[in-house]
């Protein structure tokens, strides 16, 4: 008997795969930091983006026909989006993970849909509905619960809040990137935009690394081989592959359904952090995590309804 999967089932598997791969990012980063004192956010970001760059350059090449009749203003917006969304945002995230747990980092980053709504409201002077305000209160309230619980177990309180601030700033940058994305996708095309924006982010990251590191080539030769492999894994398994998976999922399920499945991401990260990093989440923190996810999903689904 021949067994075949429906388009919906395939799309769901792609969404689950993307959620799982994205959830491993913080785990890889924390494990790499523990391997060598030479590794910081800038070094690890450079390894990640150098590994991913060839794929995104190929995307640009195969979709170059979309670049005709594009205005200089749109190219400027594209460069800004790439630098904010996947260079600066990612660097802030990597830096923040030096000070806080992988579990908390994932919960803070998961706030980005609420930040997109808040930024849209401010920019276009739109009033937030009561349902949206409740959703935001749930998500931020849940995040604060997790933060305060973790703070009680951290000895260097100043470093903890610095890490929280860096990761929250990362979420703000990514939300800003998302606000620019719809218009740019219309101009450049989906795959072409992805290839261009991420290639720009890769180049920005590598330039940052070259400027910030006195002897970059010498440093790379001093890194343990395992660090290099983690960098490659971050580039291919956590950047390139989930980018493909989520695009395939959205094409089969739509953005709303893909987002619903993707909401499992924070829970997957926490489970992996407990199993592989020895992190601990008490009952109060799990409650905070649940409130965060409920609030964010209320925002995400209401946005999709408005879009339709």
Rounded Cα–Cα distance for residues 114 and 116 (Å): 5
Alpha helices (H) along the chain: 7-23, 25-33, 41-62, 72-82, 89-96, 102-109, 112-124, 130-151, 157-188, 190-212, 216-222, 225-235, 241-253, 255-262, 265-272, 283-307
Confidence tier at 236 by pLDDT (50, 70, 90): very high
Structure tokens at 104: 């908390």
pLDDT at residue 2 tops 60: no
Q: What is the pLDDT of residue 308?
A: 36
Determine phi and psi for 288, rounding to 5 degrees.
-60, -40
What digits encode the pLDDT tens for the residues 59-80?
999 999 988 889 999 999 999 9
What digits encode the pLDDT tens for the residues 42-56?
999 999 999 999 999
- 2: in domain: no
Rounded Cα–Cα distance for residues 34 and 46 (Å): 17
- 207: in domain: yes
Who wins on pLDDT, 179 or 250?
179
Q: Report the residue count for the chain.
A: 308
Domains contained in the chain, number: 1
Q: What is the pLDDT of residue 68?
A: 87
What digits encode the pLDDT tens for the residues 114-139?
898 888 888 888 888 899 999 999 99
Q: What is the pLDDT of residue 305?
A: 46
pLDDT at residue 301 tops 80: no
- Cβ atoms of 200 and 83 closer than 8 Å: yes
Rounded Cα–Cα distance for residues 205 and 197 (Å): 12
- 187: in domain: yes
Q: Identify the domain containing residue 165 by its residue range.
A: 7-307
Q: What is the pLDDT of residue 156?
A: 61
pLDDT at residue 228 tops 90: yes
- 58: in domain: yes
- 1: in domain: no
- 161: in domain: yes
């Amino acid at each position: 008997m021949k067994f075949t999967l429906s388009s919906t089932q395939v799309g769901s598997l792609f969404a689950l795969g993307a959620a799982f791969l994205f959830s491993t990012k913080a785990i890889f980063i924390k494990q790499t930091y523990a391997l060598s004192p030479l590794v910081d956010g800038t070094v690890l970001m450079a390894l990640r983006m150098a590994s991913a760059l060839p794929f995104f350059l190929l995307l640009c090449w195969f979709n170059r026909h979309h670049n005709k009749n594009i205005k200089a203003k749109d190219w400027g917006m594209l460069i800004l989006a790439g630098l904010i969304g996947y260079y600066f945002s990612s660097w802030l995230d990597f830096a923040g993970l030096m000070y806080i747990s992988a579990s908390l980092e994932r919960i803070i980053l998961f706030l980005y849909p609420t930040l997109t709504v808040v930024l849209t409201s401010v920019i276009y002077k739109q009033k937030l509905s009561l349902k949206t305000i409740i959703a935001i209160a749930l998500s931020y309230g849940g995040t604060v619960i997790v933060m305060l619980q973790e703070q009680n177990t951290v000895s260097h309180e100043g470093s903890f809040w610095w890490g929280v601030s860096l990761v929250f700033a990362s979420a703000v940058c990514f939300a800003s990137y998302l606000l620019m994305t719809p218009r740019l996708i219309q101009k450049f095309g989906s795959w072409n935009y992805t290839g261009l924006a991420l290639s720009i982010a890769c180049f920005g990251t590598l330039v940052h690394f070259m400027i910030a590191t006195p002897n970059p080539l010498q440093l790379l030769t001093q890194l343990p081989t395992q660090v290099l492999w983690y960098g490659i894994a971050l580039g291919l398994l956590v950047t390139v592959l989930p980018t493909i998976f989520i695009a395939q999922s959205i094409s089969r399920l739509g953005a709303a359904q893909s987002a619903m499945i993707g909401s499992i991401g924070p829970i997957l990260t926490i489970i992996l952090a407990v199993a592989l990093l020895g992190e601990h989440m008490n009952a109060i923190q799990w409650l905070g995590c649940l409130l965060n996810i409920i609030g964010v999903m209320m925002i995400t689904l209401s946005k999709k309804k408005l879009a339709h």
